[in-house]
């Protein structure tokens, strides 16, 4: 029997342990705890005694419903360098700065994705482990859709995990999703802290005892985010949105984002097109842009690596900003850009003394070529 720390903050883990283990095993474990004078939380003790006395206990957290949490931290593992080769996902659910539960789901990658032995060695997941597991599409339809939509999703290194998520959604032509997301690696960089998960966990004294186990990595990512909130209180300014509207309510999945948000998003889409057209740099302005002394903000997915783009600006004397403000000079839009940033840009330009210009990704590529 693999026991659980009777003082753990992970209620879901403890209750699952009580639900799973036979009452005779738990009774022997309880006697050992008392003999060794090990403390046990009162709420856990009630669950333990119920199982010992009645032989029955059901984890009250296993049927957690959407929005019973503040955010979900997630982590993917893949079987090769392709972002389409997800073989596992870990999820950690947090409420009021406390871990509620964690999950790990194995995923069967698309059939054309080869298993790279060097990469699989890190996480220990092989082809045989996922042969009978659900595809990402099946996992999404049966579980993830009800957790992700209208939720804040927290990644560590979104350039990896967000890309895996987006590639998987696109591959299976899933379009009924909408959620906010942020990257703890990005926040750590803005706060002047180490960027690697292992280094950050060490900095905050958070145990990382099974790196590349996605369930553990997701839990640590969430705990790091809680610490970062106090160090970087402006973290909400780096929250981005991944909206994709389901254009049909006839798919039969019992959920249609379009039905709820159609009117709102049509309005925002039209407004943003007008704002972008009004404040986008002209060809003449693009030729005259001087990076040195100018402040840039990136939003959305870029064809070039985001860190490369930022380093390019910094190396040429520019500055990277974390959010919209009147000190910003240029907002660079990649695909799936944050619509709220465009709305804020208009507000600053009209009402707060801003003079922020917009560059589409192709404009930024021309700037790269110019330098």
Residue 288: inside a domain, yes or no?
A: yes
Residue 297: inside a domain, yes or no?
A: yes
Which structure tokens are listed for 157? 């290194």
Same domain, residue pair 351 and 280: yes
User: What mean pLDDT is reported for the chain?
Assistant: 84
Query: pLDDT tens across 87-103, in order?
Result: 999 999 998 888 888 99
Same domain, residue pair 99 and 226: yes
Same domain, residue pair 80 and 128: yes
Which structure tokens are listed for 320? 């990277």
Which of 216, 244, 272 terminates a domain? The answer is 244
Same domain, residue pair 223 and 317: no
Query: pLDDT tens across 319-354, in order?
Result: 998 888 889 999 999 876 777 788 788 888 888 889
Residue 306: inside a domain, yes or no?
A: yes
CATH for 341: 3.40.50.10190
Residue 6: inside a domain, yes or no?
A: no
Split into its structural domains, the chain has a count of 3
pLDDT band at 181 (very low <50, low <70, confident <90, very high): very high
Scanning the chain, the segments in alpha helix (DSSP H) are: 11-20, 23-35, 42-54, 117-123, 127-130, 136-139, 145-148, 158-171, 184-190, 197-204, 214-231, 257-279, 283-288, 306-315, 339-351, 361-370
Residue 250: inside a domain, yes or no?
A: no
Residue 295: inside a domain, yes or no?
A: yes
Cα separation, 371 vs 354, in Å, equals 26
Which of 213, 244, 275 terminates a domain? The answer is 244
Query: pLDDT tens across 348-367, in order?
Result: 888 888 999 999 989 999 99
Query: pLDDT tens across 222-256, in order?
Result: 999 999 998 888 888 888 888 664 434 333 344 44
Same domain, residue pair 338 and 293: yes
Cα separation, 279 vs 330, in Å, equals 10
Nearest Cα neighbor of 88 from 261, 213, 227 is: 213
| Helix axes of 42-54 and 23-35: crossing angle, nearest 10 degrees | 140
Contacts of 103 (CB under 8 A, 6+ apart): 90, 91, 93, 215
For position 64, what pLDDT does the model report?
55
Same domain, residue pair 181 and 232: yes
Same domain, residue pair 233 and 102: yes
What's the Cα-to-Cα distance from 226 to each of 64, 134, 198, 204, 223, rounded to whole Å?
21, 32, 16, 10, 5
Cα separation, 28 vs 54, in Å, equals 15
CATH for 190: 3.30.420.10
For position 249, what pLDDT does the model report?
38
User: Domain range spanning residue 186?
Assistant: 71-244
- For 14, counting Cβ atoms within 10 Å of its Cβ (0-12 exposed, 13-18 middle, 19+ buried), the class is buried
Residue 24: inside a domain, yes or no?
A: yes
Determine how many CB atoms are found less than 10 A away from the CB of residue 356. 22
Same domain, residue pair 149 and 101: yes
Residue 161: inside a domain, yes or no?
A: yes
Same domain, residue pair 197 and 97: yes
Which residue, chain included where needed, has tokens 């050992």? 32
Same domain, residue pair 173 and 287: no
Query: pLDDT tens across 2-59, in order?
Result: 677 888 766 766 887 898 889 999 999 999 999 988 888 888 899 999 999 999 998 7
pLDDT band at 124 (very low <50, low <70, confident <90, very high): very high
Same domain, residue pair 234 and 322: no
Roughly how many angstroms between the first and final C-alpha of the chain, as a whole number?
63
Query: pLDDT tens across 272-313, in order?
Result: 788 898 999 999 999 999 999 999 999 877 777 778 889 899
Same domain, residue pair 92 and 202: yes
pLDDT band at 257 (very low <50, low <70, confident <90, very high): very low
CA angle, residues 48, 53, 56, in degrees to nearest 5: 70
Nearest Cα neighbor of 337 from 260, 275, 248 is: 275
Determine how many CB atoms are found less than 10 A away from the CB of residue 205. 8
């Amino acid at each position: 029997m693999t026991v659980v720390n009777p003082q753990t903050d992970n209620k879901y883990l403890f209750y699952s342990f009580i639900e799973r283990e036979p009452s005779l095993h738990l009774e022997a474990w309880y006697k050992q705890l008392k003999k060794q004078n090990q403390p046990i939380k009162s709420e856990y003790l009630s669950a333990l005694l119920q199982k010992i006395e009645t032989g029955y206990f059901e984890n009250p957290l296993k049927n957690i419903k959407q929005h019973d949490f503040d955010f979900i931290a997630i982590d993917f593992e893949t079987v090769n360098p392709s972002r389409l080769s997800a073989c596992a996902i870990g999820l950690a659910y947090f409420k009021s700065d406390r871990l509620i539960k964690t999950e790990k789901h194995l995923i069967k990658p698309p059939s054309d994705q080869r298993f790279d032995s060097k990469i699989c060695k890190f996480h220990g997941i092989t082809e045989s482990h996922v042969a009978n597991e659900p595809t990402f599409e099946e996992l999404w339809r049966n579980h993830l859709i009800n957790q992700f939509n209208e939720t804040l999703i927290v990644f560590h290194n979104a350039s990896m995990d967000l890309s895996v998520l987006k590639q998987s959604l696109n591959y299976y032509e899933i379009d009924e999703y909408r959620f906010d997301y942020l990257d703890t690696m990005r926040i750590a960089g803005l706060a002047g802290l180490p960027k690697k998960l292992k280094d950050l966990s060490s900095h905050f004294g958070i145990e990382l005892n099974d790196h590349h186990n996605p369930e553990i990595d997701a839990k640590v990512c969430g705990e790091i985010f809680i610490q970062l909130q106090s160090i970087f209180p402006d973290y909400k300014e780096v929250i981005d949105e991944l909206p994709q509207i389901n254009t049909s309510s006839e798919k039969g999945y019992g959920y249609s984002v379009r039905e709820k948000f159609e009117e709102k998003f049509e309005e925002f889409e039209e407004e943003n097109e007008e704002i972008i057209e009004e404040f986008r740099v002209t060809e003449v302005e693009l030729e005259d842009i001087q990076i040195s002394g100018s402040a840039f903000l990136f939003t959305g997915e870029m064809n070039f690596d985001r860190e490369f783009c930022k380093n390019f600006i910094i190396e040429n004397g520019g500055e990277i900003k974390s959010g919209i403000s009147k000190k910003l000079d240029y907002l660079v839009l990649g695909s799936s850009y944050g619509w709220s940033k465009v709305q804020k840009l208009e507000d600053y330009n009209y009402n707060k003394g801003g003079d922020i210009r917009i560059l589409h990704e192709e404009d930024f590529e021309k700037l790269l070529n110019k330098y």
